[in-house]
């Protein structure tokens, strides 16, 4: 195999909702056919969405650009045909019928990758909705229904120390953010 030319970013159009599966399938096909040197990276930009369902925190990945997969590759020889032949791949973005796939301009790549980085950072930073001295109601766990005052907020562990009156005595409880709600 010849030495690989410099790789460029391309956008592959795919069936929406199947992006991760298609990404894995493209990787395994390219690997199986021995072209893994030609493909440097495949990205499906996603963002983490945290929802509360039945009192439980559910983290879900949401595709940021539904129907699109970013591929950094040297699209010479058989590589474009391998990628296009993968089930649920519609084709490359920007290609004309029978023409070559058009790479993204570096400004577009930087903007998209910047967005990807932003999303990974943003998913880690969920703001702390509670402060010391605030009154809260316990909504989950053995002390469900009790009210108390926040003594300490531990941002790293995402825990609260709440002082709750149980049988007339103040008792400290360590609770997660999801176990309490503001009064």
Chain segment 2-50, per-residue pLDDT in tens = 444 679 999 999 999 999 999 999 999 999 999 999 999 999 988 777 7
Task: List the domain range (segments joined by +) for residue 139.
Answer: 135-182
Let me know whether 44 and 96 are in one domain: yes
Of the chain, the percentage scoring pLDDT greater than 90 comes to 47
Q: Which of 12, 77, 3, 1 is nearest to 41 (CA)?
A: 12
Residue 2 lies in a domain: no
Domain assignment present for 35: yes
Q: What's the CATH code of the domain at 23?
A: 3.30.70.940
Q: Assess whether 140 and 163 both reside in one domain.
A: yes
Q: Report if residue 81 sits inside a domain.
A: yes
Which tens digits make up the pLDDT trace of 119-134? 666 655 555 678 899 9
Residues 68 and 144 in one domain: no
Virtual torsion, Cα 82, 85, 90, 96, nearest 10 deg: 60
Whether 142 and 173 map to the same domain: the answer is yes
Q: For the domain that residue 143 is a member of, what is the CATH number?
A: 2.30.30.30
Do 147 and 115 belong together in one domain?
A: no
**Which pLDDT band holds residue 147 (cuts at 50, 70, 90)?**
very high
User: Looking at the structure, do residues 81 and 33 belong to the same domain, yes or no?
Assistant: yes
Is 129 part of a structural domain of the chain? no
Determine the pLDDT at residue 102. Answer: 87
Q: Which residue has the higher pLDDT, 179 or 48?
A: 179
Closest of 7, 125, 11 to residue 68, by C-alpha: 11
pTM, whole model, 2 decimals?
0.58
């Amino acid at each position: 195999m010849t030495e690989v030319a410099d790789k460029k970013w391309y956008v592959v159009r795919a069936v929406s909702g199947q992006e991760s599966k298609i990404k894995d399938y493209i990787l395994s096909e390219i690997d199986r056919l021995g072209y893994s040197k030609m493909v440097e990276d495949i990205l499906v930009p996603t963002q983490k969405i945290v929802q509360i369902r039945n009192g439980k925190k559910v983290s879900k990945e949401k595709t940021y650009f539904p129907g699109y997969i970013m591929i950094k590759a040297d699209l010479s020889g058989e590589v474009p045909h391998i990628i296009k032949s993968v089930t649920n791949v519609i084709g490359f973005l920007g290609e004309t019928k029978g023409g070559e796939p058009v790479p993204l301009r570096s400004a577009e790549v930087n903007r998209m990758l910047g967005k990807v980085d932003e999303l990974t950072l943003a998913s880690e930073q969920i703001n702390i909705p509670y402060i010391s001295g605030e009154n809260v109601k316990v909504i989950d766990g053995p002390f469900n229904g009790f009210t108390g005052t926040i003594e300490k907020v531990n941002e790293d562990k995402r825990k609260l120390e709440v002082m709750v009156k149980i049988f007339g005595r103040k008792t400290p409880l360590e609770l997660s953010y999801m176990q309490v709600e503001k009064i």
